[in-house]
Structure 1
Amino acid sequence: MFYRPADGHGLPHNPFNAIVAPRPIGWISTRGPTGDNLAPYSFFNAVAYVPPQVMFASTGVKDSLTNIRATGVFAVNVVGAAQIAEMNASSAAVAPEVDEFALSKAERAECETIPCPRVANAPATLECRMTQIVELQGKGNFLVLGEVVGIHLRDECIRNGRFDVRIWQPVGRLGYRDYCTVSEVWELQRPGEG
């Protein structure tokens, strides 16, 4: 099968979201004029090491984007297997004044370097200062870039000096309503490495 996105795919469900998979979930927490916000985004990733930088994309002007524009900061909470129910509950489309921390029963804590809440039991949280918001092609597509200025790691997720994904089992988005958890991990050496 071949199709041009501009012409449509002819399938009952759009395959694009399932092609780039699994995608990590950026569980974005913000604070704004109407209160705290917590929402998952599956167009999320790390984009640079030094300084560490991340990105996430928003389709539409959502509360997260509004709050980041107002404050210039956000936190990325990673989602492990133990946070699936809370993450899903926080994805509800609700009014801006609704606190998704309370709605989802996610435990809230304060960030250290930015005025923003974070998910207390997330395996890791990246405290970020927004560096750029880019309006992408299409209606209501925005790319948010941020520099990581503080990192929280749950102590029990560190084993032998490594932040060990086998302990917290990252959750990924596969497309449609499909998700996965990382349950098998192996190492590969690059050619030429000793």
Structure 2
Amino acid sequence: MQLDFSSLAPADAYRWLASTVTPRPIAWVSTLSADGRRNLAPFSFFQVISDEPPTLMVNTSIRDDGSVKDTLINVRETGQLVIHLVDAAHAEAMNATAANLPHGTSEFEHAGIATLPSERVAPPRVAGAPVAFECELAQIQPYPADAPSCYLIFARVLLAHIDDAVLRDERHVDPAKLDLVGRLGGTQYCRTRDTFSMVRPK
């Protein structure tokens, strides 16, 4: 089978990319609006892109009506966000925050998600999340530049909260204890406990 992406409709291109480039980590992003309204939303087009400086990237798509998500609006206004990783214990709560709620409605309240204060930024953290990265905005990049279909948020990591319960030792996380969920295609997800090791050749 061959797919000519130049002739695919955007929805079909998304379906093929999202079902083949898997598993994808999920960024569960908390932000505050300029007037203090709390927002929490998941994004699976997400990755670490640099360790010097430590930087994460989140893709926020533009809706069919041309509007953008509250996450992007809030980051533009405040320059701050917290990116959480999603473990299996929080999968249902994460999914609840994917609901298309009216602008300004808090997913924290909608899904009954408890919070903790952050230390370096204003947006709250999800209580119990195994990993939370407090970040400041580095850059927002429309893509493609001439006719954007999305915006790429580059977030510089200031401080990480890692639950001691997921550590193997002082320097390493135990993947089985971390128990993250990954996004597959459609409604499918996976857990990251099934692992194996390989030593990189010299």
Question: Normalization by structure 1: what TM-score?
Answer: 0.93
Contact 1:82 1:168 in 2 (8 A): no
Deviation at 1:34, TM superposition (A): 5.7
Equivalent residue, structure 2, for 1:157 = 166
Contact 2:26 2:182 in 1 (8 A): yes
The question of 1:6 aligning with 2:6 is answered yes
1:74 is matched with which residue: 74, 81, 92?
81
- Superposition pairs of residues 12-31 of structure 1, within 5 angstroms: 14-31=15-32
Contact 2:82 2:135 in 1 (8 A): yes
Equivalent residue, structure 2, for 1:140 = 149
Q: How far apart are the structure 2 equivalents of 1:152 and 1:14?
A: 34
Equivalent residue, structure 2, for 1:182 = 192
Deviation at 1:175, TM superposition (A): 1.6
Q: CA-to-partner distance for each residue in 1:33-68, whole Å, 9 max, x for gaps?
A: 360000000000111112211000000210000000
Equivalent residue, structure 1, for 2:98 = 91
The 3-state SS of whatever aligns with 2:120 is coil
Aligned residues: 191
The question of 1:191 aligning with 2:201 is answered yes
Large movers: runs of 4+ above 6 Å = none
The 3-state SS of whatever aligns with 1:3 is coil
Q: CA-to-partner distance for each residue in 1:81-131, whole Å, 9 max, x for gaps?
A: 000010000000001221101112222111110111111111000011110
Q: How far apart are the structure 1 equivalents of 2:7 and 2:179?
A: 38
Equivalent residue, structure 1, for 2:65 = none
| Structure 1 unpaired stretches of 5+ | none
Q: State the identity %.
A: 33
Q: How far apart are the structure 1 equivalents of 2:101 and 2:73?
A: 14
Deviation at 1:17, TM superposition (A): 1.0
Q: How far apart are the structure 1 equivalents of 2:159 and 2:15?
A: 37
Q: How far apart are the structure 1 equivalents of 2:148 and 2:155?
A: 22
Question: Normalization by structure 2: what TM-score?
Answer: 0.89
Q: How far apart are the structure 2 equivalents of 1:49 and 1:114?
A: 20
Q: How far apart are the structure 2 equivalents of 1:14 and 1:47?
A: 24
| Structure 2 unpaired stretches of 5+ | 63-67
2:59 is matched with which residue: 39, 57, 60?
57
The 3-state SS of whatever aligns with 2:184 is strand
Deviation at 1:150, TM superposition (A): 0.6
Q: How far apart are the structure 1 equivalents of 2:50 and 2:122?
A: 23
